[in-house]
Structure 1
Amino acid sequence: MINSSIKRILKNILAKWPSFMMYLGSISFLGLLCFLYNIDFMLIADLIRFTFIPFVLLLFYRVYHEDKLLKKLKKAYLQGQLLSAVPHSLTERTFIEYFNRAQQQRSQYEKKIQEKFKQHRDYLVMWSHEIKTPLIALSLLAENKNEVASVDVQGQVALAYHQLDLILTYERLADFNHDLNFKWSSVDNIVETIIKKYAVFFIRKNITPRVKVSTVKILTDPKWLSFILEQLLMNALKYSKKNTLIEIEWRDNTIKIIDSGAGIDASDLPRVFEPGFTGNNGRSHDSATGMGLYLAQQISKIIGLKLTIKSKTRKGTSAILSISEDKIEK
């Protein structure tokens, strides 16, 4: 520790060579003037005798001050604190101001990272519990019945897959642009595939899908358009009553998913795209995570679509996905 301090001080002293050179240069210049104008060189000797010791003392004080400043700087940096030091020059004052500003920005950034990490951890914990729900349901079915209906098994497995898909999508959202593949895709084929995928949920609640989608093609990423529509359709299925209809239609350059379910409270509607927000409806459904619409909206923005939600309490909800005209095949 002592050796390192001595080495640091010696380096600081050696770093002052420009000051030594300036001092020697000044003496040499005065010596030249004495030579040219026949001035007694004792003047130079007196100048050195009266200025050398103060010059060295001043130099050592500067080294001591800078060494002390560096120690404070290192401590403040490691502890994430502001630097509290008396500046001895305009340069030091400017440096301290910029350092403290950088420390404040660093502190704010670290807080954001910590909040994001906590939020990320909370979501993963929440999803882990949501994935347990269909597994527990299957376990209870198996305990209470010798034979479990195929539709019940398929429903719980599909629900588990849906939650797992949400987790994986949330994980890759930060680096999403590397997983995009735009091409001309048929809307009716995408919708038909999704309905088949979630057929078990339609069957369990005896809900009829009414599809009014033409053979229009749009320029998009079919994988992520499917993901968005799956989230919207899953919400419609979740909050729809038994023996009702869910309409899926193409109209005016939009894909609409319309249900006649519980609807969304007017006070909750502005917040439906916030991560983790479930609202009054979500609190009445144990399987609500509040992440489906958030992910759907985030991905919509990335692939150039606009997602809006219109709803009235007890009258149903309309999820509207708008496609710009330049992405629709003429």
Structure 2
Amino acid sequence: MKLSEYIKGRLPAYLTYAGGWIMALLFMGAFHIQTQAAVIITVIMLLTVTAAELPPLIRRMRFYGKLRSNIQELDQKYLISEMLEDPGFPEGDILCDVIRDADRSMYEHITEYRNENVQFREFIEMWVHEIKLPVAGLLLMCHNDGNTRYTGQVKRIDSLIENVLYYARSGSAEKDYIIKETDLKRVFADSAVKYREELQERSVSVSAEGLSISVMTDGKWLGYIFGQLFSNSMKYFSPDREPEIKVTAEDFPDKTVLHFRDNGTGIPESDLPYIFEKSFTGENGRTHGRSTGMGLYIIKQLCGKLGHCISAESVKGEYTDIIITFGRNDLHDVV
């Protein structure tokens, strides 16, 4: 709290004091009281006002100064109620009570929201597991009957259901992963096998180079990321050339960089900074109605949880290159 702010707030009281002092001087002048007596009375009044105003001023400046300093230093501003001290003046006590009541109400609402969120996520996970049973049954029936007409659509439904499960879990992925040494080549091969039929139907050429590298990650979540990249690439292949996906990895002393590159329609330069944002579809999304804008968003979130960096490079009409950087684990290197 600044001195000028305090004086501004107390200005009506100071004007009242000044009015009283002027009236006292006029009264003393009317009764011809000596100048020395008027000066003494004036000094006494000034000392009295100073003695009455100075301690509250000091308490307020100390309290509000510390309050402002604490709120600026806190990353989570709502924790300010935990740092409040006894202000020592009535207005400060009221302010502290109001802040504590507001924070208490906020905590109750947050707890209620979190509980609802957990219940909804549990319901989604249960629903996904239940719905996967009939979908698996349909896939088995199509396989036994030799009917491939509906297999692709059923697999697409299964993939979309899996997306729902992974998205529901992505908010708390840290509770469901195991970071360990993982073979990039094996995880990529498993993902490619999963999408083998669709890749063959679209005559997609898939090549891999330099993947005989181990990185510190969770194999299951990385497999899901590869699956999403396969799915994204197959949505946006160009009809003007043979579709191709090329995956390469470069190993550096402090990191491993993986490139997932396709020769599809590419991404406009104006859309590139926003492709990892939630529900962003951009120009390609409006052209291809199947886009939801969630795939790359989920991948970005998972990479953040796993400690990986992800970025993209693209040229419209030529290629799209998704780049994932795996940091080097020094402890693992020592062992």
TM-score normalised over the length of structure 2: 0.56
Cα distance in structure 2, aligned partners of 1:170 and 1:103 = 35
2:177 matches 1:161: no
Separation (CA, whole Å) in 2 of partners of 1:233 and 1:109: 43
Offset at 1:247? 0.5
Amino acid in structure 1 at the alignment position of 2:315: K
In structure 2, C-alpha distance between the alignment counterparts of 1:110 and 1:251, rounded to whole Å: 48
> Compared with structure 1, are the counterparts of its residues 286 and 209 closer, same or farther at alpha carbon in structure 2 (3 Å cutoff)?
same
Provide the residue aligned with 1:180 in structure 2: 177
Amino acid paired to 1:195: A
1:209 equivalent to 2:206? Answer: yes
How far does the alpha carbon of each residue in 1:236-292 deviate from its partner, in whole angstroms, 9 at most, with x for none?
121113532110111242121101111111121111111111111112222211111
Give me the whole-angstrom Cα distance separating, in 2, the residues matched to 1:236 and 1:264.
Answer: 11
Partner of 1:320: 323
1:281 partner amino acid: N
Structure 2 residue corresponding to 1:289, chosen from 292, 296, 312: 292
Aligned identity (percent) is: 25
3-state SS in 2 of match to 1:323: strand
Partner of 1:273: 276
* Residues 262 and 183 of structure 1, relative CA distance in 2, 3 Å threshold: same
Q: Deviations over 1:4-36 (max 9, x none)?
A: xxxxxxxxxxxxxxxxxxxxxxxxxxxxxxxxx
Mark the CA change 1:149 to 1:251 in structure 2 (over 3 Å): closer, same or farther: farther
Q: What is the CA-CA distance between 1:99 and the residue it aligns to? A: 4.4
Task: Determine if contact 1:255/1:322 at 8 Å carries over to the other structure.
Answer: yes
Following superposition, the deviation at residue 176 of structure 1 comes to 1.9
- Distance, in Å, in 1 between the alignment partners of 2:322 and 2:333 is 23
Residue aligning to 1:227: 224
Q: Corresponding residue for 2:249? A: 250
Moved more, 99-108 or 182-191: 99-108
1:226 and 1:215 map into 2 onto residues whose CA distance is 16
2:16 match: none
Task: Label 1:206 to 1:329 Cα distance change in 2 as closer, same or farther (>3 A).
Answer: farther
Q: Aligned with 2:269: secondary structure?
A: coil
How many angstroms does 1:315 deviate by?
Answer: 1.3
Q: In structure 2, which of residues 91, 97, 104 is the aligned counterpart of residue 93 of structure 1?
A: 91
Task: Give the AA of the match of 2:202.
Answer: K
Contact map agreement 1:205 1:241 (CA 8 A) in 2: no
* Separation in 1, partners of 2:155, 2:181: 28
* Contact 2:266 2:318 (C-alpha < 8 Å) held by counterparts: yes
AA of the residue aligned to 2:248: E
Structure 2 unpaired stretches of 5+:
1-86
Query: Equivalent residue of 2:260, what SS?
Result: strand
Match of 2:301 in 1: 298
Q: CA 1:103–1:263 in structure 2 vs 1: closer, same or farther (change >3 Å)?
A: farther
Q: Cα RMSD between the aligned structures?
A: 3.5
Q: Give the structure-1-normalised TM-score.
A: 0.57
Measure how far apart 1:177 and its partner are: 1.6
**Residues in 2 aligned to 1:246 and 1:303: alpha-carbon distance in whole angstroms:** 24
Q: Does 1:264 align with 2:267?
A: yes
Deviation at 1:200, TM superposition (A): 2.2
C-alpha distance in 2, partners of 1:272/1:108? 34
Structure 1 residue ranges without an equivalent (≥5):
1-88
Give yes or no for contact 2:257–2:324 (8 Å, CA) kept in 1. Answer: yes
CA distance in 2, matches of 1:254, 1:325: 11
